[in-house]
Amino acid sequence: MRTRLVAPVVLCTLFTLAACENTADGVKKDAAIASEKVAEAGSEAGEAIGGGVKTADVKTALMADSLVTGSEIDVDTNNDTKTVALTGTVATEAIRARAEQVAKDNATGFTVVNKLVVK
């Protein structure tokens, strides 16, 4: 009678241990996937911040330039395409050209697209 009770208990213990091992492997895999997703999100956030910094650098330089200051220029940065776009209006072609040069000087590694309109 005792042998009959031991066998089911041993089998239940083995099944439980196997299930725990599978659960531990699953937790490890889930943790690895979660870690990868966190790293990707951090990278994307860093890229967004990098684009924002580039926009601020160009905008600050444009405001500090004595020829360009006072112009209505918007600066948009696309970090994915490494592009800085200048939009808005300026009073003269000289200001338009100067704004583009200031943007190029302050957006190293980016292509500057000058969409400024002279009015």
Please report where in the chains the tokens 């196997």 appear, as a residue.
18
User: Which pLDDT does position 70 carry in this prediction?
Assistant: 75
Express each pLDDT in 53-92 by its tens digit.
999 999 999 999 999 987 899 999 999 999 999 999 999 9
Question: CA 2 to CA 104: how far, in whole Å?
Answer: 87
Q: Which of 32-41, 93-102, 109-118 has the lowest mean pLDDT?
A: 32-41
Residue partners of 76: CB distance under 8 A and separation at least 6: 55, 84, 85, 87
User: Which pTM was predicted?
Assistant: 0.61
DSSP string, 29-75: HHHHHHHHHHHHHHHHHHHHHHHHHHHHHHHHHHHH-TTTTT-EEEE
